[in-house]
Amino acid sequence: MAYAVVAHYRCAPADGDAVRAALLKAREATRAEPANQQYEVHTVTGEPGGFLLYERYDDAAGFEAHKAAPHFEEQIVETVWPLLTERSVTFAEVL
């Protein structure tokens, strides 16, 4: 069963370009992962510094493999997360 992840990120508008660049770099590497089915990065309309990520993997194990990837550590954990003022994540199984 496919596994979906929806992440809402918010940063200060001044950090928006750095967050955007790191998310787009992470997108390219994530799309090459064997278990990744979809990885979309969105800016939130009317919310400077707001981002929404939609990710879909073959299963929960595929998402766990994604979190263990070097590009996740470098782009998300080390670059994006320190710049965030808010972060929420929803996990779901696709029907």
pTM of the model: 0.93
**End-to-end C-alpha distance for the chain, whole angstroms:** 8
Q: How far is residue 74's CA from residue 72's CA, in Å, rounded to a whole number?
A: 6
**Do 25 and 61 contact (CB within 8 A), yes or no?**
no
Residue range 28-71, pLDDT digits in tens: 999 999 999 999 999 999 999 999 999 999 999 999 999 999 99
Domains of the chain, earliest start first: 3-93 (3.30.70.100)
Residue type, position 57, single letter: Y
